[in-house]
Structure 1
């Protein structure tokens, strides 16, 4: 199952760890050399980290974390990454991915002993699932005690925070990472470019009728779908859509076939995987067909209208802004002609 579901397994342990702010000295320069612009202090998920120099031995978890660093031109700082075979790569990024050592054959960080042995000076991920001791992983506190701070993208600190996702958090992450790595100008340039693209897309769709959207990850009943809170719902809202499951307070959840049949969507957004843990997954056309069969009288089914959306875009990272633009063009093509 997706990392979103794994969050529910780890919430009691991980959310408890992040409930009180803690201060950790990170990336300390033992030589005593001064670095311009440092020290830098960053808050993330209830923890405060101070960096005396830019990290140079970074480990990234699920791929959107690596995508974000590559977008900032920081791929040379990454010493280890997890496997990524779920979705297509963003243009020009796979060559960087291939050059970085793989330390886990799955999308999750490696087990505790392997993770602690990396000697990383920063870990970047977008879910606490990789830090759940019940799964054999090193906790955030254990890594911090070993001199390895953890930064979680999107403020996805726990399931409740996940429900409150706002696209502004991505810009906050980029600004924080720019400070941590000593490249604030580079971060601000990327933020300016992304915000201009986002503002253009939202302006184009602002006065148009909302398109009723069902976001699904497949299933013949119950259906794995995205409710009216969280990241995917935010993407739909910004792109000029209206989530037909707005009354469901969940990001990713199971919804009965009866409820899906009654939603009458005008368009589908279908989570697209290539593989999951090396196993072939149902294709987006297959999942769309299953949903059309359930909501057979809907406008979406009659028009066979759906957009495959790489699942990596539905986790916090640089790709989120690009996804808003892609969805907006799908829902309102006439606004971009």
Structure 2
């Protein structure tokens, strides 16, 4: 998924520390020379493929806001050559890792390119399929490996074997897997574990208050598009954000991450609530106005009752903002009366 603007932040208050459970990542490392990790080989499983790093990367280039903030949340800005993201990254004053933006270099407001990566003297690129990696642009893990540059692929964006469809695991598990993998790679396992346990606790607290059974509102995620809506299936972050907040995701049976569908699918499933992804040249208010005025949607429950809730782009892609987004949506869903 290529987006033009990461949007405003949502504060993520960290919860009590619990005991970390496993996150599904397979990690092995040699036992030699663990003083600074520079000579320690680490093998990770990333998107179903074993990837071995001969040493800890020291000049990482990241692409897009969610990916960049994963590094910041792990305290790894000193391992970054810089980040690529469009001009407006939004208000970051409320996020716990906001200092990363002051310390890391903003390399470009345009798309990441092979030339930019080479100019930055990167030794690793952290991006995703359609989040920077693209055969059309000639920027892939294979092409970078040929240049002596390692890659880590965002797990939300992993291709799943059905053409270019993406997603291989539940979205929050994708986030926890990436935190675990990167924690091992950079020697910050304890910080990764604390983040994950905090996030799990925050989500567990939300789930305890969420509606149950038939009281759960049905929810559709609207990203963009008028002829066809661009939306998310069960492998993109909105699926877990919706379901863990207490809603039923109307496209939760779609085995993909971000993709387009027909409006007839939305009308047929008649969601109680529409969540708008706030980013890009079209504002959230403009998207809402379109939805409320588009004739085919006139009888959809969310439109009839004007139940349209906005979340920011950085909340809705894989990022450390996901748990706070779950809490925010949950508070809104608890105000939706059951049908009947």
TM-score by length of 2: 0.76
The structure 2 residue matched to 1:320, chosen from 304, 319, 322, is 322
Pair 1:96-2:95 in alignment: no
Alignment partner, residue 247 of structure 2: 241
Distance 1:140 1:299 in 2: 44
Where in structure 2 are the equivalents of 1:121-200 lying within 5 Å? Answer: 121-127=123-129, 130-135=132-137, 137-158=138-159, 159-162=164-167, 164-200=169-205
Contact 1:57/1:122 (CA < 8 Å) preserved in 2? yes
The structure 1 residue matched to 2:217, chosen from 203, 211, 215, is 211
User: Which runs of 5 or more residues in structure 2 are unaligned?
Assistant: 4-28
User: Which runs of 5 or more residues in structure 1 are unaligned?
Assistant: 5-25, 27-31, 276-280
Where in structure 2 are the equivalents of 1:242-257 lying within 5 Å? Answer: 242-246=248-252, 248-257=254-263
Partner SS, residue 165 of structure 2: helix
Alignment partner, residue 12 of structure 1: none
Distance 2:167 2:91 in 1: 24
The structure 2 residue matched to 1:105, chosen from 95, 109, 131, is 109
Deviations 1:225-253 (A, max 9, x none): 33455432232122211123445554434
Contact 1:60/1:125 (CA < 8 Å) preserved in 2? yes
Alignment partner, residue 293 of structure 1: 293
Distance 1:271 1:210 in 2: 21
Could you say if the C-alpha distance between residues 321 and 49 of structure 1 is closer, same or farther in structure 2, counting changes exceeding 3 Å? Answer: same
Distance 1:213 1:86 in 2: 28
Structure 1 residue 97, shift from structure 2 partner: 2.0
Partner SS, residue 313 of structure 1: helix
RCO greater where, 1 or 2, for CA within 8 Å and sep 6 or more? 2
Structure 1 residue 224, shift from structure 2 partner: 2.9
Distance 1:160 1:243 in 2: 19
Distance 2:255 2:53 in 1: 37
Distance 1:263 1:293 in 2: 19
Could you say if the C-alpha distance between residues 122 and 300 of structure 1 is closer, same or farther in structure 2, counting changes exceeding 3 Å? Answer: same
The structure 2 residue matched to 1:222, chosen from 215, 224, 228, is 228
CA RMSD of aligned residues (A): 3.0
Partner SS, residue 297 of structure 1: coil
Structure 1 residue 311, shift from structure 2 partner: 1.9
Where in structure 2 are the equivalents of 1:72-83 lying within 5 Å? Answer: 72-83=74-85
Alignment partner, residue 29 of structure 1: none
Distance 2:255 2:194 in 1: 36
When you count helix as a share of all residues, which structure comes out higher? Answer: 1
Deviations 1:264-296 (A, max 9, x none): 3211100101x4xxxxx1211221222123322
Structure 1 residue 216, shift from structure 2 partner: 0.8
The structure 1 residue matched to 2:278, chosen from 260, 268, 272, is 272
Query: How many equivalent pairs are there?
Result: 299
